[in-house]
Structure 1
Amino acid sequence: MTRFKRRLLWAFACLVALGALVLGGLFILNLDDADPRANQTAPPLVGHQLTDQIARGAYLTRAGDCMACHTVRGGPEYAGGRAIVTPFGTIYAPNLTPDHATGIGSWSANDFWRALHNGKSKDGSLLYPAFPYTNYTKVSRADADAMFAYLQSIPAVKQSNSAPQLRFPYNNRVLLYGWRALYFRPGVYQPESTQSVEWNRGAYLVQGLGHCSACHSARNALGGLDLKGELGGGFIPVVNWYAPSLTSDVEVGLGDWEISHIVALLKTGVSPRSAVFGPMAEVVAASLQYLHDDDVTAMAVYLKTLPRPDARPAAEKEYARPNEIDQVLTLGAKVYKDNCVACHMTSGKGALPAYPPLSGNRAITMPSAVNAIRVVMYGGFAPTTAGNPRPYGMPPFAQDLTDSEVAAVVSYIRNSWGNSATLVSPSDVNRYRSVPME
């Protein structure tokens, strides 16, 4: 055998060994984080114990906002079919009713636990992370069992599931083994011994069932969360909405908020500091308003203690020359006087709870102006909640104002009454003109 052939065989053997190591690593990293009871059948609950478990499960599925994805608007609850549009294609939420043919009627509590905790379906296939098992893995086994008991108690609906419609290569489910190796580690939430019971309860809800990081954290090109910047804000690309940072006080960080104001915002959608619009309004309306006061307070306590970054995010470049800034702000002042002052007042202080303040509102002055642009163009609608049963809505102005006028009034609001932020350009506005509010 020639030296060249020996080297070629050696290189081939090295590649095979490297491939085996990689595959072995992927296999190990994708092993189930097994629960001690995973293959055991617990005695079935009966009577008031079962009733209590189902009631708790109903509460927990509300806390997880499961209905939002697993119910088509106007359709049967939890019967699935709602399209979840991602940058990689569309995934359809499955049927969670106890129908044996199309739902989870043939599942066991162990199967359901495996889905939440390990991101795997009953047949062992990997679930796409549009289902936030990266958060739900923190849910305790007892809570998972309660959720399953509730879902088994609701009316069965025969409604077939739709296959995902993902672009190549994302339609190849085997690639999820690599994705999970990079971005997923199963594990139930472990309480911090140095923190209070209330703080730990809030952390459990925020990190787990609440899956707040799914929106409020940045994602990379593969859809993996930036865990170093968890809850540091993230752009929701298809919805074209920015979920602001819950850590940076330059954005909506809650470090200097009163606990009661955070609770009011989460529970009712309005507070003396701000109001929720866009995707967060749906979360409050469908989920958070139904949580117990002590749970919402626990979430507020936890959120208020999140680490705050020291550095202010780099500012965007001004689009206007210095001699044009006055012209932009003058136009913005005129547009504000003609369209906004009746509700938000000359002082920008608004009139709570109907009209949120613009002065000192960090949701207005944070580096990304996309939310302010979209609210001006397509209106802002706080959720209807028990604590705010007749919310006021802001009308849309896209049909009345040009791109330059929207840019000017947003720039004016971001730089009046002590506010200070970069200007908005007409091109920034035009980018979202053809994308209506979700």
Structure 2
Amino acid sequence: MLSLRQLKALAVLTGCIVAACLVPLAGAHAQASAPKTPAGAANAAGGDAALIARGEYLARAGDCVACHTLPAGKVFGGGRPMDTPFGTLFTPNISSDKETGIGKWTAEQFYTMMHTGKSNDGSLLYPAMPYTSYTKVTRADSDAIYAYLLATPPVKQPNRPHELRFPFNKRQLLIGWRTLFFRQGEYEPDPKQSAEWNRGAYLVEGLGHCSMCHTAINALGGNVTSKEFEGGLIPLQNWYAPSLTSNKEAGLGDWSIEDIVGLLHAGVSNRGAVYGPMAEVVYNSLQYLTEEDVRAMAVYLKALPARSGDKPAPPSAAVAEQRSSLAPLGKKVYDAECAVCHAAQGQGKLPHFPPLANNQSIEMDSAVNPIRMVLNGGYPPGTKKNPMPYGMPPFAQSLSDVEVAAVVTYIRTAWGNHGAPVTVKEVNELRSAPLY
């Protein structure tokens, strides 16, 4: 029987490695494109071309390339390090190589891994592999992904053993975690909903594994079902994945389906743009999905029930005083550095420069993302629908912590925005945060 202390220790580890898996490192754009199936591979893989093409599409939906490929490395060769406070995990080789990859696996073994979180030798996988979501993938889709992986070029690259300190290197600890947080089973369509809604739910909850970032990790390192999609800070990454159920954050209740599709498919829409970890997801995965599938995801996301209040609380006297003290300097910085792109009243200049007025991502309870954008800048992903994105320059070298705190406070409270002021301490803590 595992002690509560052991469970909590493992929980911190699993929470960290889940985030490490989901958020690729900077530079992934240079190598993230999955390989095209070589001619004649259908026969070599024991499958037909249509099945392999479908598997490639589904592997895109699952964003497999992001974790299983080193930057500038051979695709699906594994070996990607995932640093945690307890050591380093290395992702496995999932290429078709028979010695170091999955070339000798059977379709049954591959499905068991996806469905149960157990490797072909029966060992338990750390939940950096999102099997808690992949368990919902159907056997037919699993078989297609398997056929595709076996049809890709073999990469002879031995798997590196994890470098975890005791007791985190003991996989037996995962038994307790799985009992608490893993519910095995394929997705069951809801007969009360449309086929489009169900398709969106299958992609969002299964291959997309969206809840793993957009649901906070609790004290034991698991996602709480009752708080699903309510947002949370991604461990070790210092990016906030916003709530998809609250219109104060990224709730989509008042978005049009077209704007949601634009954001997911192109990385930009009339309501905003994606940066940071979500930009990687759009670049590696979502841009390659069909319009119909992305629309289905949008329909499902828009229908998520609101679980948290959307009315802003009135500011306290201390908050009002802090806002008043920072706002004048913030406006001065904004007029000098930001207005040329985002316009004098924060209305933006569409389609390239998103509005800051009435922008949910600016007003969220967590100010992590706007602070990081001012400090580090960034680009939306280059996609088929937006191949030459406009970006935002970094201001970490030109603005002091006080100036960054002031301008972020200003944009969070001006033009009808209802965000809270940010402190100089918050800015200083994020100044040295890793980019991804």
TM over 0.5: same fold? Answer: yes
Q: Distance in 2 between matches of 1:313 and 1:129?
A: 36
RCO (CA 8 Å, sep 6+): is it higher in 1 or 2?
A: 2
- Give the alignment partner of residue 79 of structure 2, picking from 62, 66, 81: 81
The corresponding residue for 1:54 is 52
The corresponding residue for 2:196 is 198
Alignment of 1:390-405 (within 5 A): 390-405=388-403
Secondary structure of residue in 1 paired with 2:48: helix
Q: Is the 8 A contact 1:319 1:424 kept in 2?
A: no
Secondary structure of residue in 2 paired with 1:91: strand
The corresponding residue for 2:130 is 132
Q: Distance in 2 between matches of 1:120 and 1:300?
A: 32
Secondary structure of residue in 2 paired with 1:308: coil
Per-residue CA deviation, residues 174-220 of structure 1 (Å, 9 max, x unaligned), is 00011100100110000000000000000000000000011111002
Shifted more, 319-328 versus 218-227: the winner is 319-328
Q: 1:179 to 1:188 in 2, by over 3 A?
A: same
The corresponding residue for 1:102 is 100
Alignment of 1:264-279 (within 5 A): 264-279=262-277
Q: Distance in 1 between matches of 2:343 and 2:311?
A: 30
Q: 1:380 to 1:405 in 2, by over 3 A?
A: same
Shifted more, 321-330 versus 293-302: the winner is 321-330
Q: Is the 8 A contact 1:319 1:423 kept in 2?
A: no
- Give the alignment partner of residue 293 of structure 1, picking from 291, 294, 300: 291
Q: What TM-score, normalized by structure 1, do the two folds share?
A: 0.87
The corresponding residue for 1:371 is 369
Per-residue CA deviation, residues 113-140 of structure 1 (Å, 9 max, x unaligned), is 0110000000000000000000000000
The corresponding residue for 1:9 is none
Q: Is the 8 A contact 2:52 2:144 kept in 1?
A: yes
Shifted more, 65-74 versus 302-311: the winner is 302-311
How far 1:166 sits from its partner (Å)?
2.6
Q: Distance in 1 between matches of 2:58 and 2:317?
A: 47
Q: Is the 8 A contact 2:376 2:395 kept in 1?
A: yes
Q: Distance in 1 between matches of 2:238 and 2:311?
A: 20
Q: 1:345 to 1:76 in 2, by over 3 A?
A: same
The corresponding residue for 1:424 is 422
Q: Is the 8 A contact 1:98 1:156 kept in 2?
A: yes
Q: Is the 8 A contact 2:63 2:208 kept in 1?
A: yes
Which 4+ residue blocks in structure 1 deviate beyond 6 angstroms?
45-49, 313-319
How many residue pairs were aligned? 397
Q: Which amino acid aligns with 1:373?
A: I
Q: Which amino acid aligns with 1:249?
A: N
Give 5+ residue unaligned stretches, structure 2.
4-41
Q: Is the 8 A contact 1:268 1:388 kept in 2?
A: yes
Alignment of 1:329-344 (within 5 A): 329-344=327-342
Shifted more, 84-93 versus 274-283: the winner is 84-93
Identity %: 57
Secondary structure of residue in 2 paired with 1:368: coil
Q: 1:55 to 1:324 in 2, by over 3 A?
A: closer
Q: Is the 8 A contact 2:47 2:147 kept in 1?
A: no
Q: Distance in 2 between matches of 1:380 and 1:320?
A: 33
Q: Distance in 1 between matches of 2:306 and 2:86?
A: 32
Q: What TM-score, normalized by structure 2, do the two folds share?
A: 0.87
Per-residue CA deviation, residues 241-283 of structure 1 (Å, 9 max, x unaligned), is 0010111111110111100000000000000001000000000
Q: 1:420 to 1:322 in 2, by over 3 A?
A: closer
Q: 1:89 to 1:315 in 2, by over 3 A?
A: farther
Q: Is the 8 A contact 1:398 1:433 kept in 2?
A: yes
How far 1:165 sits from its partner (Å)?
2.4
Q: Is the 8 A contact 1:319 1:425 kept in 2?
A: no
Give 5+ residue unaligned stretches, structure 1.
1-14, 20-44
Secondary structure of residue in 2 paired with 1:251: coil
Q: Distance in 2 between matches of 1:82 and 1:100?
A: 20
The corresponding residue for 2:121 is 123
- Give the alignment partner of residue 184 of structure 1, picking from 182, 199, 203: 182
Per-residue CA deviation, residues 316-372 of structure 1 (Å, 9 max, x unaligned), is 987956545322000100110111011001010111221111011100100000000
The corresponding residue for 1:12 is none
Q: Distance in 2 between matches of 1:167 and 1:317?
A: 46
Q: 1:152 to 1:235 in 2, by over 3 A?
A: same
Q: Distance in 1 between matches of 2:313 and 2:91?
A: 38
Q: Say which one has the larger Rg.
A: 1
Q: Is the 8 A contact 1:315 1:422 kept in 2?
A: no
Secondary structure of residue in 2 paired with 1:90: strand
Q: 1:155 to 1:65 in 2, by over 3 A?
A: same
Q: 1:216 to 1:324 in 2, by over 3 A?
A: closer
- Give the alignment partner of residue 347 of structure 1, picking from 345, 348, 366: 345
How far 1:292 sits from its partner (Å)?
0.5
Q: Is the 8 A contact 1:316 1:422 kept in 2?
A: no
Q: Which amino acid aligns with 1:327?
A: S
Secondary structure of residue in 2 paired with 1:72: coil
Q: Which amino acid aligns with 1:400?
A: S
Shifted more, 83-92 versus 422-431: the winner is 83-92
Q: Is the 8 A contact 2:409 2:420 kept in 1?
A: yes
Secondary structure of residue in 2 paired with 1:85: strand
The corresponding residue for 1:387 is 385
Superposition RMSD in Å = 2.2
The corresponding residue for 1:10 is none
Q: 1:314 to 1:256 in 2, by over 3 A?
A: closer
Q: 1:95 to 1:315 in 2, by over 3 A?
A: farther
